[in-house]
């Protein structure tokens, strides 16, 4: 039987973010949803954004046990008016922002560079770069007022290299996300704010559905050609990394990029 001191220690570990407010953009599905679950489990008040309230309801219904709480604010990060509403709502409801995970993004598949059209470029950059910048700008302002905070940007292994599967805009955008991460990390460390990135390889989300539809053997072969483990990244691994980066154990980690790819970028 555990004594009272041991019990209190376990509760502090399980609910380490009690009283903290976390924002997860793109938090209704995929990596964002896994991250939202991770922070709820740790006791945080989690605000998720997305375009679909129905997806949020599915996420909300799936939470058990519910140590923290979860809220939804509809927002498209490519729309400045949506972001103004989002951050005004956070200030009004909570008056603080401790953690921000910028996961919202769109993906388009490889197209010939010389044929890639302006509308495709502008749409993707508006969400995956400008949207991240505008979110960070507002997040940093709130965290300065609060005296501390942690921002995590979801980048990609294609921020490290080119890609046969992704478009020019997607690859450029993820490189830009690392640039924004590093610049903010340097500029705001003196305000008690840490900024890091997580760069996943192919992850087991809805984005992988077209490949999975071709059969397990095909999926294993394709993923195996990318990384030595021949496995998709589990979104829960990304969530656990995000939780760690926001914890007291990570207080000296700033401006870093955590690559989670089964060894993909280690392979020549």
Weakest mean pLDDT among 25-29, 57-61, 135-139: 57-61
Quick one: 46 exposed, middle or buried, by C-beta within 10 A (0-12, 13-18, 19+)? buried
CATH number, position 77: 3.40.50.720
Q: Does any domain span residue 215? A: yes
Q: Does any domain span residue 172? A: yes
Range(s) of the domain holding residue 200: 19-258
The catalytic residue among 56, 99, 170, 232 is 170
Catalytic residue status for 170: yes
Mean pLDDT of 232-247: 95
Q: Does any domain span residue 204? A: yes
Position 4 pLDDT exceeds 70: no
Quick one: 230 exposed, middle or buried, by C-beta within 10 A (0-12, 13-18, 19+)? middle
Domain count, the chain: 1
**H or E segment at 175?**
helix 168-188
Mean pLDDT of 71-81: 96
Q: Does any domain span residue 141? A: yes
Average pLDDT, the chain: 87
| Longest CA pairwise span in the chain (Å) | 68
pLDDT tens, 245-262?
999 999 999 999 999 998
Q: Does any domain span residue 147? A: yes
Q: Quote the pTM value.
A: 0.88
**How many CB atoms within 10 Å of residue 210?**
10
Q: Does any domain span residue 8? A: no
């Amino acid at each position: 039987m555990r004594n009272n001191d041991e019990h209190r220690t376990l509760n502090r570990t399980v609910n380490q973010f009690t009283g903290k407010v976390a924002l997860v953009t793109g938090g209704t599905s995929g990596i964002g949803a896994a991250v939202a679950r991770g922070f709820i489990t740790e006791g945080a008040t989690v605000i998720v954004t997305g375009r679909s309230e129905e997806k949020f309801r599915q996420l909300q219904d799936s939470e058990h046990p519910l140590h923290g709480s979860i809220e939804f604010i509809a927002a498209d990060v490519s729309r400045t008016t949506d972001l103004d509403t989002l951050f005004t709502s956070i200030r009004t409801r909570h008056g603080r922002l401790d953690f921000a995970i910028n996961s919202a993004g769109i993906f388009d598949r490889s197209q010939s560079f010389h044929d890639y059209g302006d509308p495709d470029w502008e749409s993707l950059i508006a969400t995956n770069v400008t949207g991240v910048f505008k979110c960070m700008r507002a997040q940093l302002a709130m965290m300065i007022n609060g005296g501390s905070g942690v921002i995590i940007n979801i980048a990609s292994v294609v921020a490290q290299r080119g890609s046969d599967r992704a478009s020019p805009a997607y690859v450029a955008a993820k490189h830009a996300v690392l640039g924004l991460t590093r610049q903010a990390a340097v500029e705001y460390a003196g305000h008690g704010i840490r900024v890091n990135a997580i760069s996943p390889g192919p992850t087991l989300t809805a984005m992988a559905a077209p490949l999975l539809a071709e059969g397990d053997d095909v999926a294993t072969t394709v993923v195996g050609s990318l990384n030595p483990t021949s496995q998709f990244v589990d979104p829960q691994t990304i969530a656990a990394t995000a939780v760690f980066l926001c914890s007291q154990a990570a207080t000296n980690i700033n401006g870093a990029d955590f690559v989670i790819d089964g060894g993909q970028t280690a392979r020549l």
